[in-house]
Structure 1
């Protein structure tokens, strides 16, 4: 009787496994699938993709086939504003983007778009790996349930590109510059004496070519990739913005990661960021070299003028932002403290 019962139980397990199309042990180890969105192309010259590839490699090395990262580049899952909402509700697990878009969810994150906040991407990394980044993550988590996995780098700081040479604050006065249509960008260039002119990026080439604007602000890699060097020939190296790249995961996405795999997952995130930041520095330098080879002239911003503009920004824009969003006041202090660290 016992032998017959054991036989029937074994047969029942085999039947269930066959019906599902996979052995039970295999189904128990099915990979954890995470949907990951990006607005950029899947290209080695895209900052998003470089981070993703580093992350995927590091994660596979430490966890084998336990994770399956489905990467959707080039806005395949929708515009960034829509993807933010989908990450919040859990239909998309992760996204990599510029920090600006998350200011729509947590306005405090908008502080990262204020001009001259950071001196370099190394400075930004120190601050955002520390107290400032942790506090912004907590704010975002309380507002949306989303978590910042890491802060990485774009391919270079943003500087001023113009048709006629601009070498100083005196030269930039009255110059019409295309800027992003956000208060932080507009106010930054008002402080510098330029005439900020919001124009969609897709219209920028024609606007510069026809004289609607005298120039624009952007990073060297984008100038090169978009062939904007055909319509401007001069760069004033203001490095006014070291815009952070951010990788965010939703509450549902985070809940998919088992406790025993979370340390390996987070280490893969950290390793990917270390690699991506180094590659970003190389890509930025290479883009500048190529623009020089194509005839672009670069004029460094004088240290005294940079210090003067930063002091004015701190007095007018940063303090005003901190009053509007009091939680950011200690973050400005923490970022400033990270400025001189090695």
Structure 2
């Protein structure tokens, strides 16, 4: 009888230890503004696989795409508070917390994939992270590269500056984007991302701007007829962790997360280059007519002359812009 009691006791203890071990799995939640099938979504899935593999299943990454956890600004606020582990945000949505990051949104500062990578790696990556940690209460784990914000519209082909005059273009809440469009004679309309498709569909606005993959996965080809390749701003989407969360993680967790983040940054770079072409083809098959600018030098001249001098204070001083220009070999 005593033997049976001991066996039963051991079984109960073993079961308890198993349940305790199962519940001890570390959960990391990642919020995203873009859809699951966007480049942001693909990057997040790669990150999830890398973390879970490198932690031998001890860490589970849960993904919440499509604004399930709120707007990018709300998610960033929650990451800073420590109530959300990680989030992806467009760089412009981080500027209210660390204004120096606004440097990376200046029109025609970044003019190629190379520029985008150069501006966010090496010494400059360390510089941005130091500012984010000290002033924003968060750090950037890796950068996401989503290509240039190309303009779509439902009115007419935009091939030269005169074509965009008076056109209502949806933009995120971003002062630099607003000033840039105004310098071209357009009518920028700040609007939440969640309202954009319906606004385009109903003609509340004429157009919007986003990279090819976002345009295609958002199905803008269903409500827009024209796209123009304009290279005024490169879309950067960093993955962010709050300092409160970072500080509570043990060394092993930090190592796994950091390594997975760097692998994701490398993957995202290759993915963007390959998939942007496929998204472009998808837009064309969807009926969108693609144009290139005949006078982009004029667009660039107006943006730089009218926006840069007015927004030095907004980005924390002209020195920040000069530093990036020097790093890019433009000064």
TM-score band w.r.t. shorter chain: 0.7 to 0.9
Is the 2:142–2:264 contact (alpha carbons within 8 Å) kept by the matching residues of 1?
no
Gaps of 5+ in 1: 1-10
Match of 1:309 among 284, 299, 317: 299
1:111 aligns with 2:100: no
The residue number in structure 1 matching 2:32 is: 38
- Distance in 2 of aligned mates of 1:20 and 1:109: 51
The residue number in structure 1 matching 2:17 is: 22
Per the alignment, in what secondary structure is the counterpart of residue 57 of structure 2? coil
The residue number in structure 1 matching 2:51 is: 59
Distance 1:329-1:135 versus aligned 2 partners, 3 A rule: farther
Is the 1:125–1:152 contact (alpha carbons within 8 Å) kept by the matching residues of 2?
no
Cα drift, residue 89 of structure 1: 2.0
1:336 aligns with 2:325: yes
Cα deviation 1:102-141 (Å, max 9, x = unaligned): 2222233233333222113332122111333332222221
- Distance in 2 of aligned mates of 1:250 and 1:212: 37
| Range with bigger deviation, 52-61 or 87-96 | 52-61
Match of 1:74 among 43, 63, 66: 66
Instruction: Within 5 Å, give how 1:119-130 maps onto structure 2.
Output: 119-130=111-122
- Distance in 2 of aligned mates of 1:63 and 1:275: 19
Instruction: Within 5 Å, give how 1:152-167 maps onto structure 2.
Output: 152-154=144-146, 156-162=147-153, 163-167=155-159
The residue number in structure 2 matching 1:3 is: none
- Distance in 2 of aligned mates of 1:144 and 1:199: 24
* TM-score where L is the length of structure 1: 0.80
Cα drift, residue 149 of structure 1: 0.8
Cα-Cα RMSD: 3.2
The structure that has the greater radius of gyration is 1
Match of 1:86 among 67, 74, 78: 78
* TM-score where L is the length of structure 2: 0.82
Cα deviation 1:211-265 (Å, max 9, x = unaligned): 5544332333333334433443222211322110111111232124332554443
Per the alignment, in what secondary structure is the counterpart of residue 240 of structure 1? coil
Gaps of 5+ in 2: 1-5
Distance 1:130-1:319 versus aligned 2 partners, 3 A rule: farther
Is the 2:100–2:320 contact (alpha carbons within 8 Å) kept by the matching residues of 1?
no
Is the 1:119–1:339 contact (alpha carbons within 8 Å) kept by the matching residues of 2?
no
